Structure 1
Amino acid sequence: MPSRRRFLSGLAAGTAVGLSGCLGGGTTFSPGRTSNTDWPLPGHGPRASNYTRNAVAPRTPPSERWRAETGRSVGRPVVADETVFVPAEDGLYALRLRDGEQRWRASIAPYGVAVADGVVYATARDEAAVFAYEADSGEGRWRRETAADFATAPLPLSSGDAVVVGDTDGHVRSLAPRTGETRWRFRAFTGVYSLAARDDRVYVGTTGGEAYELHVVDGDDGPSGVPLWRRKLPGTVRALSATRQSVYAATFGGGFLKLATGASAGRTEWHATGAPTVTDALVHAGRLVVGVGSEGVSAYDAATGDPRWRATVDRTAPASPPAAAGDTLYVGVGGALHAYALGGGVGVGPYRVDVQRWRLPIRTRGVAIADGAVVVTSDDLDGSPGVAVLE
């Protein structure tokens, strides 16, 4: 049973240190207005922006709605159909969003999970398979064997007619949501590490540092994923985020890049060479692209790649993938969950205050935002791995 203990200690508001840059460009953010929101994919939507502009989320130190024990999480939590789904070492958990009661659990070894149209899709680690379950009951819909296991979550397309998966051997497949049958396939040169999509385009990032744009077209023999371009980037493509005219890529040790799409064939629009090595996610919010590494948060102008603001932490440690809502960014780094002002606080140039809204000493592995709250997975909730909902 989950507890209802409150986080009445260890919360602190304050400012971040090591700030530089200025916003400019008229970038402003407002608090969210809608509390009835979901976070159905690890990156929130197919474009993997990791941002929901209108969602309400805690801007002041939160209290705890509930916490529940799970196995150690291996992927990001997602929230849909009034349920929190946690991919953990010992299974896929489905917990009721209202109070944390377990609705069901699937005995698989998942890597990532995504939800679309009442169906939960899961890729597996250490097993070459993709699974689909009914979100409300956990009843298995189908299981599809693949060539290799996975290092990225499934990607349901916004059209609703396909789920894209990419395995560690470089096979990209589009699966039919109802049956799991392969609709089209593509082979990258190395293993797939990141995916994003918009409209009829799918973007693929690999462990070997390649980025691809695939055009999904309907032909006489059915749909296919036609490669439009391939770019070699300076490191494993750890995260992608797609917009209508560009795709942002975060690499291992090689910074961030903005790549043109379509007819421009992957041309580099800017390259922030000093950007941090991120953990599986970029935040794209308005005129900002934000990444989090082991030393803190770095924000860049989405149009130019110029640095906008930076917040360091006092202890170098692995960072969780970030998530943002309204005017606030949430991330686990330096052994704590932090909430930062997405716009960089108040000030000009290096003189900034009120960047950090609050800090909670909890070792965070994953973050999602839904129902006016922050959903957090951790290896250590009073000594046990689990999930907590903060509001």
Structure 2
Amino acid sequence: MVGCGLQYPNHLKSIILRRRTAVLTIQPFDFQSRTRFVFGGGSIERVGELAAELRSACVLVVSDRGIMEAGHDAAAIKSLQDAGLRVESFHDFAENPTSAMVDAGVRKAAEVKPDLLVGLGGGSSMDCCKGINFVYSCGGRIHDYHGVGKATCDLLPMIAIPTTSGTGSEAQSFALISDAETHVKMPCGDPRAACRIAILDPQLTLTQPHQVTALTGIDALSHAIETQVTLRRNAISTTYSRRAFGLLANSFSRVLSEPNDLDARSEMQLGACFAGMAIENSMLGAAHATANPLTARYNITHGQAVGLMLPAVVRLNGSILNQEGHGAWYSDLVNDLDQNSSTTRVSHSDAPQHLAAMIETWLDQAGLAQSLDQLQIPRSDIESLSQDAMTQWTGTFNPVPLDVDRCRGLYESVAKD
């Protein structure tokens, strides 16, 4: 070994040096999976059994009213009650949960005094549940937990049961809560907010309306794509990003055209979960940074907003990453899809455009808008949108540094069809 008295020829020394240099380019990571994942059709029926394993006596189920109408709420409550637990419910929140909705949930929790929380539904249900957990467990208000690592004590154990295939919140230690007055999104993250158990039951996703399937699917795809290229990307995150993208890209068109295809629904749910795990170990980028102001200012649904911005961001990032020698970052995603076919591999330089075109095809299939004009957002607002985008935390992780000019360019590139 080098350094142990052995001498190597010069050509071998150069190879060893290159290999050492290559190893040093791998980003360090600190990874621990804090969540137990239970996957399978009908697995919602195990929630009572799993809650009992946590030695719980009283459960607060946080689910939106659409989940009640679909019957999922009743199924979870029956399983919990059959296990001998006292169960109460909180439903007074909506999409993009706000600080006021969290406050209402905390008041409910104060009445119920639960020792376990269950977040049942889409990302809004799970995020609202986490937000309630922060404030009920540690006191104060949700604004106190804006950022990372702000929890002052252990939180209640939480079981997440996603009914959509989008945010991957079940795999993350973050809650995304909007300020009730300013509508600014506040990411609140702490390792202690990670769910103790996530139940992935693909049968629950069969009841999603077509539009929800479309919007949440685009959101999940954006997570897989953005986490692949952030400044915090590492060996763990890219493993999840690439696997998530493969599952989602293989199944998204299928669930749009064949909504009862349970295999496709299963792939979408697992893909969204893996993308959530990628976020937990990486972060998001410019597509989310430029999408969030569209949601805050015009109430554009998140999946629509991020879908609108994603192709432009891929093209921007790709042009710079290729110049910097990181062209493989996007091509890895694209070429993973063709590894079992005879299709010619997409080059590093062509991959960003190829990927952006794929996203646009999915947006077409989903029936989503692809311009500010279609969303009736005036181009005169681009300057203020650009300023807002610069305040977004996710933008700081984009592989290409954002400035007002670049944000303005992204919005201008999607201004019209």
Normalised TM-score (structure 1): 0.27
Q: Which has the higher strand share?
A: 1
Normalised TM-score (structure 2): 0.26
Q: Which has the higher contact order (CA 8 A, sep 6+)?
A: 1
Q: Which has the higher helix share?
A: 2
Instruction: Please identify the structure whose Cα radius of gyration is greater.
Output: 2
